[in-house]
Structure 1
Amino acid sequence: MSTSSIDFHHLVTGRDFTPETESKLADLLDAAISGTASAQVTADGIDKLCPRNEDAESFLWSLWSLFASVAKRIPLDDPRLQSLVEVLKALNAKKTGSVEIWGSQHELWADMPLFGAVMREEWNGSPEFDNKPDQATKIAQWLSLNSFAARLLGASVSSWTNFAIWELRGGLEEPLSTDEARDTHLITASEWITQAGQVLYNETKNSIELDSQATQALSPGSLIEGTKSGFNEERWNFWKKRLEELSADASAEAKKRAEKALEVIKSLEA
Protein backbone atom coordinates (compact mmCIF):
# COMPACT_ATOMS: atom_id res chain seq x y z
CA MET A 1 0.00 0.00 0.00
CA SER A 2 1.37 3.38 -0.96
CA THR A 3 1.91 5.95 1.75
CA SER A 4 3.31 8.65 -0.50
CA SER A 5 3.34 12.09 1.06
CA ILE A 6 0.85 14.79 0.10
CA ASP A 7 2.06 18.34 -0.43
CA PHE A 8 -0.73 20.21 1.32
CA HIS A 9 0.92 23.58 0.85
CA HIS A 10 0.81 22.99 -2.90
CA LEU A 11 -2.81 21.79 -2.84
CA VAL A 12 -4.13 24.84 -0.97
CA THR A 13 -2.63 27.35 -3.41
CA GLY A 14 -4.69 28.77 -6.24
CA ARG A 15 -7.92 28.68 -4.24
CA ASP A 16 -9.89 31.52 -2.65
CA PHE A 17 -7.96 31.51 0.60
CA THR A 18 -5.81 34.28 2.03
CA PRO A 19 -2.10 33.41 2.28
CA GLU A 20 -2.43 33.11 6.06
CA THR A 21 -5.43 30.79 5.74
CA GLU A 22 -3.60 28.71 3.12
CA SER A 23 -0.70 28.11 5.47
CA LYS A 24 -2.89 27.28 8.46
CA LEU A 25 -5.15 24.92 6.48
CA ALA A 26 -2.18 23.09 5.02
CA ASP A 27 -0.67 22.58 8.47
CA LEU A 28 -4.00 21.48 9.97
CA LEU A 29 -4.70 18.88 7.29
CA ASP A 30 -1.12 17.65 7.21
CA ALA A 31 -1.20 17.04 10.97
CA ALA A 32 -4.59 15.31 10.80
CA ILE A 33 -3.69 13.00 7.94
CA SER A 34 -0.28 12.14 9.38
CA GLY A 35 -1.86 11.31 12.73
CA THR A 36 -0.09 13.98 14.77
CA ALA A 37 -3.33 15.87 15.52
CA SER A 38 -6.82 14.62 16.33
CA ALA A 39 -9.80 15.08 14.04
CA GLN A 40 -11.39 17.29 16.69
CA VAL A 41 -8.40 19.62 16.94
CA THR A 42 -8.33 19.87 13.15
CA ALA A 43 -12.06 20.58 12.95
CA ASP A 44 -11.74 23.27 15.61
CA GLY A 45 -8.95 24.91 13.63
CA ILE A 46 -10.93 24.86 10.37
CA ASP A 47 -13.98 26.28 12.13
CA LYS A 48 -11.96 29.24 13.38
CA LEU A 49 -10.74 29.97 9.85
CA CYS A 50 -14.21 30.04 8.27
CA PRO A 51 -15.65 33.55 7.78
CA ARG A 52 -19.18 34.26 9.01
CA ASN A 53 -19.87 36.92 6.39
CA GLU A 54 -20.18 37.17 2.61
CA ASP A 55 -16.77 35.54 2.27
CA ALA A 56 -18.12 32.24 3.63
CA GLU A 57 -19.29 31.09 0.20
CA SER A 58 -15.88 31.27 -1.48
CA PHE A 59 -14.18 29.83 1.60
CA LEU A 60 -16.50 26.82 1.78
CA TRP A 61 -16.34 26.12 -1.95
CA SER A 62 -12.55 26.15 -1.78
CA LEU A 63 -12.52 24.07 1.41
CA TRP A 64 -14.70 21.29 0.01
CA SER A 65 -12.76 21.32 -3.25
CA LEU A 66 -9.58 20.96 -1.22
CA PHE A 67 -10.98 17.98 0.69
CA ALA A 68 -11.94 16.29 -2.59
CA SER A 69 -8.47 16.94 -4.01
CA VAL A 70 -6.84 15.42 -0.95
CA ALA A 71 -9.15 12.38 -1.05
CA LYS A 72 -8.27 11.69 -4.68
CA ARG A 73 -4.58 11.57 -3.79
CA ILE A 74 -4.98 8.93 -1.07
CA PRO A 75 -5.02 5.31 -2.28
CA LEU A 76 -8.24 3.39 -1.79
CA ASP A 77 -7.23 1.31 1.24
CA ASP A 78 -4.88 3.85 2.79
CA PRO A 79 -6.01 4.61 6.39
CA ARG A 80 -5.42 8.31 5.72
CA LEU A 81 -8.65 8.32 3.72
CA GLN A 82 -10.59 7.44 6.86
CA SER A 83 -8.62 10.07 8.77
CA LEU A 84 -9.93 12.65 6.31
CA VAL A 85 -13.47 11.39 6.87
CA GLU A 86 -13.00 11.66 10.64
CA VAL A 87 -12.15 15.35 10.29
CA LEU A 88 -15.39 15.91 8.39
CA LYS A 89 -17.35 13.94 10.99
CA ALA A 90 -15.92 16.21 13.69
CA LEU A 91 -16.75 19.31 11.64
CA ASN A 92 -20.28 18.06 10.95
CA ALA A 93 -20.93 17.72 14.70
CA LYS A 94 -19.96 21.31 15.48
CA LYS A 95 -22.68 23.87 16.23
CA THR A 96 -21.06 27.22 15.67
CA GLY A 97 -23.62 29.31 13.86
CA SER A 98 -25.05 29.71 10.40
CA VAL A 99 -24.08 31.39 7.14
CA GLU A 100 -25.99 32.73 4.15
CA ILE A 101 -25.25 30.87 0.93
CA TRP A 102 -27.03 31.58 -2.35
CA GLY A 103 -29.69 33.62 -0.55
CA SER A 104 -30.55 31.03 2.12
CA GLN A 105 -29.43 30.48 5.70
CA HIS A 106 -27.58 27.25 6.43
CA GLU A 107 -26.17 25.73 9.58
CA LEU A 108 -22.47 26.05 8.93
CA TRP A 109 -21.33 22.50 9.59
CA ALA A 110 -24.52 20.51 10.15
CA ASP A 111 -25.67 21.37 6.61
CA MET A 112 -22.21 21.33 5.01
CA PRO A 113 -23.39 24.02 2.54
CA LEU A 114 -21.96 23.75 -1.00
CA PHE A 115 -20.31 20.38 -0.33
CA GLY A 116 -22.83 18.56 -2.51
CA ALA A 117 -22.41 21.11 -5.30
CA VAL A 118 -18.63 20.71 -5.22
CA MET A 119 -18.92 16.94 -5.31
CA ARG A 120 -21.35 17.18 -8.20
CA GLU A 121 -18.63 18.95 -10.17
CA GLU A 122 -16.13 16.29 -9.14
CA TRP A 123 -18.47 13.67 -10.58
CA ASN A 124 -17.75 15.07 -14.04
CA GLY A 125 -14.27 13.57 -13.73
CA SER A 126 -15.25 9.93 -14.15
CA PRO A 127 -12.76 7.96 -16.29
CA GLU A 128 -13.46 7.57 -19.99
CA PHE A 129 -11.33 4.42 -20.49
CA ASP A 130 -9.71 5.94 -23.57
CA ASN A 131 -6.20 4.51 -22.99
CA LYS A 132 -4.68 7.97 -22.68
CA PRO A 133 -1.44 8.26 -20.68
CA ASP A 134 -3.23 9.62 -17.61
CA GLN A 135 -5.91 6.91 -17.54
CA ALA A 136 -4.39 4.94 -14.65
CA THR A 137 -4.17 8.10 -12.53
CA LYS A 138 -7.76 9.07 -13.33
CA ILE A 139 -9.00 5.59 -12.42
CA ALA A 140 -7.12 5.58 -9.11
CA GLN A 141 -8.50 9.01 -8.24
CA TRP A 142 -12.02 7.94 -9.19
CA LEU A 143 -11.80 4.91 -6.91
CA SER A 144 -10.62 7.05 -4.00
CA LEU A 145 -13.24 9.75 -4.59
CA ASN A 146 -16.02 7.17 -4.59
CA SER A 147 -14.73 5.56 -1.42
CA PHE A 148 -14.51 8.99 0.22
CA ALA A 149 -18.08 9.87 -0.77
CA ALA A 150 -19.39 6.45 0.26
CA ARG A 151 -17.71 6.68 3.67
CA LEU A 152 -19.27 10.09 4.27
CA LEU A 153 -22.71 8.74 3.35
CA GLY A 154 -22.20 5.72 5.58
CA ALA A 155 -21.16 7.99 8.46
CA SER A 156 -24.25 10.21 7.95
CA VAL A 157 -22.04 13.21 7.25
CA SER A 158 -23.71 13.54 3.86
CA SER A 159 -27.03 12.48 2.35
CA TRP A 160 -25.90 12.21 -1.26
CA THR A 161 -27.53 8.92 -2.18
CA ASN A 162 -27.76 10.30 -5.73
CA PHE A 163 -24.01 9.75 -6.20
CA ALA A 164 -24.43 6.16 -5.07
CA ILE A 165 -27.22 5.52 -7.56
CA TRP A 166 -25.30 7.17 -10.40
CA GLU A 167 -22.25 4.99 -9.81
CA LEU A 168 -24.27 1.81 -9.26
CA ARG A 169 -26.20 2.58 -12.44
CA GLY A 170 -23.04 3.26 -14.44
CA GLY A 171 -21.31 0.14 -13.19
CA LEU A 172 -24.11 -2.40 -12.85
CA GLU A 173 -27.00 -1.21 -15.03
CA GLU A 174 -25.17 -0.35 -18.25
CA PRO A 175 -23.03 -2.38 -20.67
CA LEU A 176 -19.31 -1.90 -20.02
CA SER A 177 -16.95 -1.36 -22.92
CA THR A 178 -13.70 -2.90 -21.63
CA ASP A 179 -12.36 -5.20 -18.94
CA GLU A 180 -10.82 -2.17 -17.26
CA ALA A 181 -14.17 -0.39 -17.23
CA ARG A 182 -15.78 -3.49 -15.73
CA ASP A 183 -13.17 -3.82 -13.00
CA THR A 184 -13.22 -0.11 -12.15
CA HIS A 185 -17.00 0.08 -11.90
CA LEU A 186 -17.16 -3.20 -10.02
CA ILE A 187 -14.77 -1.80 -7.42
CA THR A 188 -16.63 1.51 -7.04
CA ALA A 189 -20.03 -0.19 -6.87
CA SER A 190 -18.67 -2.58 -4.27
CA GLU A 191 -17.21 0.31 -2.30
CA TRP A 192 -20.58 2.06 -2.08
CA ILE A 193 -22.20 -1.09 -0.74
CA THR A 194 -19.33 -1.91 1.63
CA GLN A 195 -19.03 1.60 3.06
CA ALA A 196 -22.67 2.73 2.95
CA GLY A 197 -24.66 -0.47 2.53
CA GLN A 198 -26.87 0.12 5.56
CA VAL A 199 -27.94 3.53 4.27
CA LEU A 200 -28.61 2.18 0.78
CA TYR A 201 -30.54 -0.80 2.12
CA ASN A 202 -32.66 1.45 4.34
CA GLU A 203 -33.43 3.62 1.31
CA THR A 204 -34.43 0.49 -0.58
CA LYS A 205 -36.76 -0.74 2.16
CA ASN A 206 -38.28 2.73 2.61
CA SER A 207 -38.78 3.40 -1.09
CA ILE A 208 -40.36 6.84 -1.46
CA GLU A 209 -42.24 8.60 -4.22
CA LEU A 210 -40.01 10.88 -6.27
CA ASP A 211 -40.83 14.17 -7.93
CA SER A 212 -40.35 14.47 -11.69
CA GLN A 213 -36.85 15.90 -11.42
CA ALA A 214 -35.62 13.15 -9.10
CA THR A 215 -37.37 10.51 -11.20
CA GLN A 216 -35.33 11.59 -14.20
CA ALA A 217 -32.06 12.01 -12.30
CA LEU A 218 -32.29 8.64 -10.55
CA SER A 219 -33.65 6.64 -13.47
CA PRO A 220 -32.47 3.06 -14.09
CA GLY A 221 -29.89 2.06 -16.69
CA SER A 222 -30.52 0.38 -20.02
CA LEU A 223 -30.07 -3.15 -18.65
CA ILE A 224 -32.99 -2.72 -16.26
CA GLU A 225 -35.36 -0.45 -18.17
CA GLY A 226 -38.90 -0.39 -16.87
CA THR A 227 -37.84 -0.45 -13.24
CA LYS A 228 -38.88 2.49 -11.07
CA SER A 229 -36.41 5.29 -10.47
CA GLY A 230 -34.69 5.71 -7.13
CA PHE A 231 -34.23 2.93 -4.61
CA ASN A 232 -36.43 -0.15 -4.74
CA GLU A 233 -36.13 -3.88 -4.14
CA GLU A 234 -36.12 -4.82 -7.82
CA ARG A 235 -33.14 -2.57 -8.37
CA TRP A 236 -31.36 -3.82 -5.24
CA ASN A 237 -31.78 -7.43 -6.36
CA PHE A 238 -30.50 -6.56 -9.82
CA TRP A 239 -27.38 -4.97 -8.31
CA LYS A 240 -26.78 -8.11 -6.29
CA LYS A 241 -27.14 -10.32 -9.37
CA ARG A 242 -24.83 -8.12 -11.44
CA LEU A 243 -22.15 -8.11 -8.76
CA GLU A 244 -22.15 -11.90 -8.94
CA GLU A 245 -22.15 -11.96 -12.75
CA LEU A 246 -19.44 -9.36 -13.30
CA SER A 247 -17.14 -10.73 -10.62
CA ALA A 248 -16.97 -14.10 -12.40
CA ASP A 249 -14.58 -12.70 -15.04
CA ALA A 250 -13.15 -9.80 -13.06
CA SER A 251 -9.59 -9.19 -11.91
CA ALA A 252 -8.58 -10.66 -8.57
CA GLU A 253 -8.83 -7.24 -6.91
CA ALA A 254 -12.28 -6.46 -8.29
CA LYS A 255 -13.50 -9.97 -7.49
CA LYS A 256 -12.30 -9.67 -3.89
CA ARG A 257 -14.13 -6.38 -3.40
CA ALA A 258 -17.31 -7.66 -5.04
CA GLU A 259 -17.29 -10.69 -2.75
CA LYS A 260 -16.95 -8.38 0.25
CA ALA A 261 -19.89 -6.29 -0.98
CA LEU A 262 -21.98 -9.43 -1.44
CA GLU A 263 -21.17 -10.43 2.14
CA VAL A 264 -22.43 -7.03 3.30
CA ILE A 265 -25.63 -7.51 1.30
CA LYS A 266 -26.14 -10.97 2.80
CA SER A 267 -25.67 -9.56 6.29
CA LEU A 268 -28.11 -6.70 5.66
CA GLU A 269 -30.76 -9.05 4.32
CA ALA A 270 -30.39 -11.58 7.14
Structure 2
Amino acid sequence: MAVNNPLGLQLEANPGEWDVELKLFDILTTYLPQDSAWSAQHAAKQINGLFPNNRPGNDDEKESPGSFLAEFWDLMFRIAYQLDYRNVPMQRFISLIKALQQLPSDITLEDGSRVWQDLPHLPMFLTERWHRLSPLEYVPGDEALRRWRNLNGLTAYLTNGKIYGGLYRALASISMSLENNDKKTMKTTVASLVPTAAVWFTLCSPKIYNACQEEKCKDSEVRWKLWQGNPGYSKERWDFWRRRFAELSTHQEAEVESRDACQTAISAMDAVAL
Protein backbone atom coordinates (compact mmCIF):
# COMPACT_ATOMS: atom_id res chain seq x y z
CA MET A 1 0.00 0.00 0.00
CA ALA A 2 1.34 3.40 -1.06
CA VAL A 3 4.98 2.37 -1.40
CA ASN A 4 5.62 5.78 -2.94
CA ASN A 5 4.19 8.22 -0.41
CA PRO A 6 6.56 11.20 -0.10
CA LEU A 7 3.92 13.38 1.58
CA GLY A 8 3.51 10.84 4.37
CA LEU A 9 -0.26 10.78 3.94
CA GLN A 10 -2.29 8.61 6.28
CA LEU A 11 -5.19 6.46 5.10
CA GLU A 12 -6.94 6.83 8.48
CA ALA A 13 -9.01 3.68 7.92
CA ASN A 14 -8.72 -0.05 8.41
CA PRO A 15 -6.71 -1.36 5.42
CA GLY A 16 -8.33 -4.28 3.70
CA GLU A 17 -11.96 -3.38 4.40
CA TRP A 18 -12.37 -2.14 0.82
CA ASP A 19 -9.60 -3.11 -1.59
CA VAL A 20 -10.61 -0.38 -4.04
CA GLU A 21 -9.88 2.20 -1.34
CA LEU A 22 -6.27 1.04 -1.21
CA LYS A 23 -5.98 1.47 -4.97
CA LEU A 24 -7.52 4.95 -4.76
CA PHE A 25 -5.12 5.84 -1.95
CA ASP A 26 -2.16 4.76 -4.08
CA ILE A 27 -3.40 6.97 -6.92
CA LEU A 28 -3.63 9.98 -4.59
CA THR A 29 -0.23 9.45 -2.99
CA THR A 30 1.34 9.18 -6.44
CA TYR A 31 -0.46 12.18 -7.97
CA LEU A 32 -0.51 14.79 -5.20
CA PRO A 33 3.23 15.51 -4.63
CA GLN A 34 4.51 18.67 -6.31
CA ASP A 35 7.07 16.77 -8.39
CA SER A 36 4.65 14.07 -9.57
CA ALA A 37 4.77 13.35 -13.30
CA TRP A 38 1.04 12.63 -13.32
CA SER A 39 -1.39 15.22 -14.64
CA ALA A 40 -4.76 15.79 -13.02
CA GLN A 41 -6.40 14.34 -16.12
CA HIS A 42 -4.33 11.15 -15.87
CA ALA A 43 -5.17 10.70 -12.18
CA ALA A 44 -8.85 11.32 -12.91
CA LYS A 45 -8.84 8.60 -15.58
CA GLN A 46 -7.18 6.20 -13.16
CA ILE A 47 -9.88 6.91 -10.58
CA ASN A 48 -12.63 6.57 -13.17
CA GLY A 49 -11.24 3.17 -14.10
CA LEU A 50 -12.09 1.99 -10.59
CA PHE A 51 -15.71 3.15 -10.83
CA PRO A 52 -18.02 0.10 -10.55
CA ASN A 53 -19.38 0.43 -14.09
CA ASN A 54 -15.83 0.47 -15.47
CA ARG A 55 -14.43 -2.51 -13.56
CA PRO A 56 -14.59 -6.07 -14.91
CA GLY A 57 -16.39 -8.69 -12.90
CA ASN A 58 -19.82 -9.66 -11.68
CA ASP A 59 -22.03 -6.70 -10.76
CA ASP A 60 -23.19 -8.63 -7.69
CA GLU A 61 -19.65 -8.44 -6.36
CA LYS A 62 -19.33 -4.68 -6.79
CA GLU A 63 -20.70 -1.78 -4.77
CA SER A 64 -23.35 0.50 -6.27
CA PRO A 65 -22.26 3.75 -7.99
CA GLY A 66 -23.69 5.76 -5.09
CA SER A 67 -21.84 3.66 -2.53
CA PHE A 68 -18.58 4.03 -4.46
CA LEU A 69 -18.92 7.81 -4.54
CA ALA A 70 -19.71 7.96 -0.84
CA GLU A 71 -16.58 5.96 -0.01
CA PHE A 72 -14.52 7.93 -2.53
CA TRP A 73 -15.40 11.40 -1.23
CA ASP A 74 -14.95 10.28 2.35
CA LEU A 75 -11.41 9.19 1.42
CA MET A 76 -10.76 12.39 -0.52
CA PHE A 77 -11.52 14.63 2.44
CA ARG A 78 -9.63 12.39 4.86
CA ILE A 79 -6.64 13.15 2.64
CA ALA A 80 -7.43 16.81 1.93
CA TYR A 81 -7.11 18.14 5.45
CA GLN A 82 -3.67 16.59 5.73
CA LEU A 83 -2.50 18.94 2.92
CA ASP A 84 -1.30 22.41 3.82
CA TYR A 85 -3.77 24.77 2.16
CA ARG A 86 -0.94 27.10 1.11
CA ASN A 87 1.11 24.50 -0.76
CA VAL A 88 1.11 22.93 -4.22
CA PRO A 89 -0.38 19.53 -3.25
CA MET A 90 -3.60 21.27 -2.16
CA GLN A 91 -3.81 23.01 -5.52
CA ARG A 92 -3.23 19.68 -7.23
CA PHE A 93 -6.04 18.21 -5.14
CA ILE A 94 -8.39 20.93 -6.41
CA SER A 95 -7.20 20.40 -9.98
CA LEU A 96 -8.07 16.71 -9.61
CA ILE A 97 -11.64 17.58 -8.61
CA LYS A 98 -11.94 19.78 -11.70
CA ALA A 99 -10.50 17.03 -13.90
CA LEU A 100 -13.02 14.53 -12.51
CA GLN A 101 -15.80 17.00 -13.28
CA GLN A 102 -14.67 17.10 -16.92
CA LEU A 103 -14.68 13.33 -17.44
CA PRO A 104 -17.11 12.20 -20.15
CA SER A 105 -19.80 9.99 -18.62
CA ASP A 106 -23.47 9.30 -19.21
CA ILE A 107 -23.95 7.50 -15.89
CA THR A 108 -26.52 9.00 -13.52
CA LEU A 109 -27.54 8.22 -9.96
CA GLU A 110 -31.11 7.61 -8.81
CA ASP A 111 -31.59 11.32 -8.07
CA GLY A 112 -30.61 12.21 -11.64
CA SER A 113 -27.18 13.64 -10.78
CA ARG A 114 -24.46 12.90 -13.32
CA VAL A 115 -21.23 11.08 -12.63
CA TRP A 116 -18.82 12.85 -12.58
CA GLN A 117 -20.04 16.17 -13.91
CA ASP A 118 -22.32 17.09 -10.99
CA LEU A 119 -19.85 15.86 -8.36
CA PRO A 120 -22.56 14.00 -6.42
CA HIS A 121 -21.83 13.47 -2.71
CA LEU A 122 -18.96 15.99 -2.66
CA PRO A 123 -20.91 18.69 -0.74
CA MET A 124 -22.31 16.22 1.78
CA PHE A 125 -18.98 14.63 2.63
CA LEU A 126 -17.06 17.91 2.77
CA THR A 127 -19.68 19.31 5.15
CA GLU A 128 -19.58 16.14 7.24
CA ARG A 129 -15.79 16.27 7.51
CA TRP A 130 -15.98 19.96 8.47
CA HIS A 131 -18.46 19.19 11.28
CA ARG A 132 -16.38 16.34 12.65
CA LEU A 133 -13.76 18.77 13.93
CA SER A 134 -14.47 20.73 17.13
CA PRO A 135 -11.59 23.23 17.19
CA LEU A 136 -12.40 24.82 20.54
CA GLU A 137 -11.75 21.47 22.22
CA TYR A 138 -8.07 21.45 21.24
CA VAL A 139 -5.00 23.26 22.52
CA PRO A 140 -2.60 25.28 20.32
CA GLY A 141 -0.24 23.00 18.45
CA ASP A 142 -2.71 20.14 18.22
CA GLU A 143 -2.69 18.41 14.82
CA ALA A 144 -6.48 18.75 14.66
CA LEU A 145 -6.15 22.54 14.56
CA ARG A 146 -3.77 22.37 11.62
CA ARG A 147 -6.30 20.17 9.85
CA TRP A 148 -9.08 22.60 10.74
CA ARG A 149 -7.21 25.42 9.04
CA ASN A 150 -6.41 23.30 5.98
CA LEU A 151 -10.04 22.25 5.64
CA ASN A 152 -11.19 25.87 5.88
CA GLY A 153 -8.65 26.84 3.24
CA LEU A 154 -9.86 24.07 0.95
CA THR A 155 -13.49 25.10 1.50
CA ALA A 156 -12.60 28.69 0.62
CA TYR A 157 -10.88 27.61 -2.61
CA LEU A 158 -13.84 25.45 -3.61
CA THR A 159 -16.21 28.29 -2.80
CA ASN A 160 -14.25 30.62 -5.08
CA GLY A 161 -14.34 27.96 -7.78
CA LYS A 162 -18.13 27.55 -7.44
CA ILE A 163 -17.62 23.87 -6.67
CA TYR A 164 -19.03 24.20 -3.15
CA GLY A 165 -21.25 26.79 -1.50
CA GLY A 166 -19.18 27.64 1.56
CA LEU A 167 -20.83 30.81 2.89
CA TYR A 168 -22.38 28.99 5.86
CA ARG A 169 -19.06 27.35 6.70
CA ALA A 170 -17.32 30.73 6.44
CA LEU A 171 -19.86 32.38 8.72
CA ALA A 172 -19.53 29.65 11.33
CA SER A 173 -15.72 29.76 11.30
CA ILE A 174 -15.51 33.56 11.43
CA SER A 175 -18.17 33.85 14.12
CA MET A 176 -16.54 31.22 16.33
CA SER A 177 -13.19 32.98 15.99
CA LEU A 178 -14.08 36.66 16.28
CA GLU A 179 -17.25 36.72 18.38
CA ASN A 180 -16.16 34.36 21.15
CA ASN A 181 -14.78 35.76 24.41
CA ASP A 182 -14.80 32.62 26.55
CA LYS A 183 -11.73 32.88 28.78
CA LYS A 184 -11.39 29.09 28.94
CA THR A 185 -10.80 28.81 25.20
CA MET A 186 -9.20 32.19 24.51
CA LYS A 187 -5.69 30.85 24.03
CA THR A 188 -6.86 28.41 21.35
CA THR A 189 -9.10 31.08 19.81
CA VAL A 190 -6.36 33.66 19.43
CA ALA A 191 -3.54 31.27 18.54
CA SER A 192 -5.41 29.05 16.06
CA LEU A 193 -9.00 30.04 15.29
CA VAL A 194 -8.34 33.70 14.52
CA PRO A 195 -5.67 32.83 11.90
CA THR A 196 -8.17 30.35 10.42
CA ALA A 197 -10.82 33.07 10.18
CA ALA A 198 -8.20 35.26 8.50
CA VAL A 199 -7.81 32.57 5.81
CA TRP A 200 -11.40 33.23 4.72
CA PHE A 201 -10.76 36.95 4.30
CA THR A 202 -7.42 36.38 2.61
CA LEU A 203 -8.89 33.97 0.05
CA CYS A 204 -12.54 34.96 -0.13
CA SER A 205 -12.93 38.63 0.83
CA PRO A 206 -14.96 39.62 -2.27
CA LYS A 207 -17.49 36.83 -1.72
CA ILE A 208 -17.81 37.56 2.00
CA TYR A 209 -18.13 41.28 1.37
CA ASN A 210 -20.84 40.71 -1.24
CA ALA A 211 -22.64 38.37 1.15
CA CYS A 212 -22.60 41.15 3.76
CA GLN A 213 -23.88 43.68 1.22
CA GLU A 214 -26.71 41.33 0.24
CA GLU A 215 -27.36 40.14 3.83
CA LYS A 216 -27.06 36.48 2.96
CA CYS A 217 -27.63 33.56 5.34
CA LYS A 218 -30.33 35.38 7.29
CA ASP A 219 -31.78 32.02 8.29
CA SER A 220 -28.59 31.12 10.15
CA GLU A 221 -28.55 31.42 13.93
CA VAL A 222 -24.76 31.26 13.99
CA ARG A 223 -23.50 33.92 16.36
CA TRP A 224 -21.46 34.05 19.52
CA LYS A 225 -21.86 36.27 22.58
CA LEU A 226 -20.00 39.32 21.32
CA TRP A 227 -22.28 39.78 18.32
CA GLN A 228 -25.68 41.18 19.35
CA GLY A 229 -26.88 42.13 15.87
CA ASN A 230 -29.00 40.22 13.38
CA PRO A 231 -27.98 36.72 12.28
CA GLY A 232 -26.38 36.14 8.91
CA TYR A 233 -24.12 38.47 6.98
CA SER A 234 -24.48 42.26 7.19
CA LYS A 235 -22.48 45.46 6.72
CA GLU A 236 -22.53 45.98 10.47
CA ARG A 237 -21.12 42.53 11.11
CA TRP A 238 -18.38 43.10 8.53
CA ASP A 239 -17.34 46.26 10.39
CA PHE A 240 -17.50 44.42 13.70
CA TRP A 241 -15.23 41.66 12.37
CA ARG A 242 -12.70 44.22 11.16
CA ARG A 243 -12.62 45.84 14.59
CA ARG A 244 -12.15 42.44 16.22
CA PHE A 245 -9.17 41.63 14.02
CA ALA A 246 -7.61 44.93 15.13
CA GLU A 247 -8.33 44.20 18.80
CA LEU A 248 -7.10 40.61 18.68
CA SER A 249 -3.88 41.59 16.92
CA THR A 250 -2.77 43.14 20.22
CA HIS A 251 -4.27 40.52 22.52
CA GLN A 252 -1.93 39.19 25.20
CA GLU A 253 -2.24 35.67 23.74
CA ALA A 254 -1.42 36.84 20.21
CA GLU A 255 1.98 35.73 18.95
CA VAL A 256 3.59 36.60 15.63
CA GLU A 257 1.44 34.27 13.50
CA SER A 258 -1.81 35.60 14.95
CA ARG A 259 -0.74 39.23 14.71
CA ASP A 260 0.34 38.82 11.10
CA ALA A 261 -2.88 36.96 10.23
CA CYS A 262 -4.98 39.76 11.72
CA GLN A 263 -3.14 42.42 9.72
CA THR A 264 -3.39 40.37 6.52
CA ALA A 265 -7.13 39.95 7.03
CA ILE A 266 -7.58 43.68 7.68
CA SER A 267 -5.67 44.54 4.52
CA ALA A 268 -7.81 42.12 2.48
CA MET A 269 -11.00 43.58 3.95
CA ASP A 270 -9.93 47.15 3.28
CA ALA A 271 -8.92 46.32 -0.29
CA VAL A 272 -12.33 44.92 -1.18
CA ALA A 273 -14.38 47.51 0.72
CA LEU A 274 -12.87 50.53 -1.01
Q: TM-score, normalised by structure 2?
A: 0.80
* Unpaired segments ≥5 residues, structure 2: 54-58
- Judged with a 3 Å threshold, the aligned counterparts in structure 2 of structure 1 residues 165 and 93 are, in CA distance, closer, same or farther, namely farther
**2:247 aligns to what SS in structure 1?**
helix
* Unpaired segments ≥5 residues, structure 1: none
Match of 1:83 in 2: 92
Of 62, 75, 82, 1:73 maps to 82
In structure 1, C-alpha distance between the alignment counterparts of 2:13 and 2:72, rounded to whole Å: 9
CA-to-partner distance for each residue in 1:19-66, whole Å, 9 max, x for gaps? 2x3343223212321132112222233234334697122222222221
**2:112 aligns to what SS in structure 1?**
strand
In structure 2, C-alpha distance between the alignment counterparts of 1:5 and 1:119, rounded to whole Å: 22
Code of the aligned partner of 1:69 = R
In structure 2, C-alpha distance between the alignment counterparts of 1:114 and 1:129, rounded to whole Å: 28
CA-to-partner distance for each residue in 1:202-231, whole Å, 9 max, x for gaps? 222233475xxxx1x34332211232x222
Match of 2:240 in 1: 238
Match of 1:247 in 2: 249
Residues 1:140 and 2:146 aligned together: yes
TM-superposed CA distance for 1:90, in Å, is: 2.5
TM-superposed CA distance for 1:201, in Å, is: 2.1
Residues 1:204 and 2:212 aligned together: yes
TM-superposed CA distance for 1:267, in Å, is: 1.6
The structure number with the bigger radius of gyration is 2
In structure 2, C-alpha distance between the alignment counterparts of 1:58 and 1:15, rounded to whole Å: 17
TM-superposed CA distance for 1:189, in Å, is: 0.4
In structure 2, C-alpha distance between the alignment counterparts of 1:237 and 1:5, rounded to whole Å: 40
Of 259, 271, 274, 1:267 maps to 271
In structure 2, C-alpha distance between the alignment counterparts of 1:209 and 1:152, rounded to whole Å: 18
CA-to-partner distance for each residue in 1:63-101, whole Å, 9 max, x for gaps? 22212111222234332122212212322344534532x
**1:104 aligns to what SS in structure 2?**
coil
Of 149, 169, 173, 1:163 maps to 169
In structure 2, C-alpha distance between the alignment counterparts of 1:151 and 1:57, rounded to whole Å: 25
Of 53, 66, 83, 1:57 maps to 66
CA-to-partner distance for each residue in 1:106-136, whole Å, 9 max, x for gaps? 23344322222222322231224455xx961
Of 110, 116, 123, 2:123 maps to 116
In structure 2, C-alpha distance between the alignment counterparts of 1:67 and 1:48, rounded to whole Å: 16
Q: Retained in 1: the 8 A contact 2:7–2:29?
A: no
Code of the aligned partner of 1:68 = F
Match of 2:189 in 1: 181
Match of 1:225 in 2: 228
Q: Which moved more, 1:140-149 or 1:48-57?
A: 48-57
Q: Retained in 2: the 8 A contact 1:74–1:144?
A: yes
Q: Retained in 2: the 8 A contact 1:154–1:198?
A: no
Code of the aligned partner of 2:79 = V
Q: Retained in 1: the 8 A contact 2:229–2:237?
A: no
Match runs of 1:24-63 below 5 Å: 24-34=23-33, 35-51=36-52, 55-63=64-72
Q: Retained in 2: the 8 A contact 1:166–1:218?
A: no
Code of the aligned partner of 1:194 = T
Q: Which moved more, 1:84-93 or 1:158-167?
A: 84-93
In structure 2, C-alpha distance between the alignment counterparts of 1:237 and 1:139, rounded to whole Å: 27
Match of 2:56 in 1: none
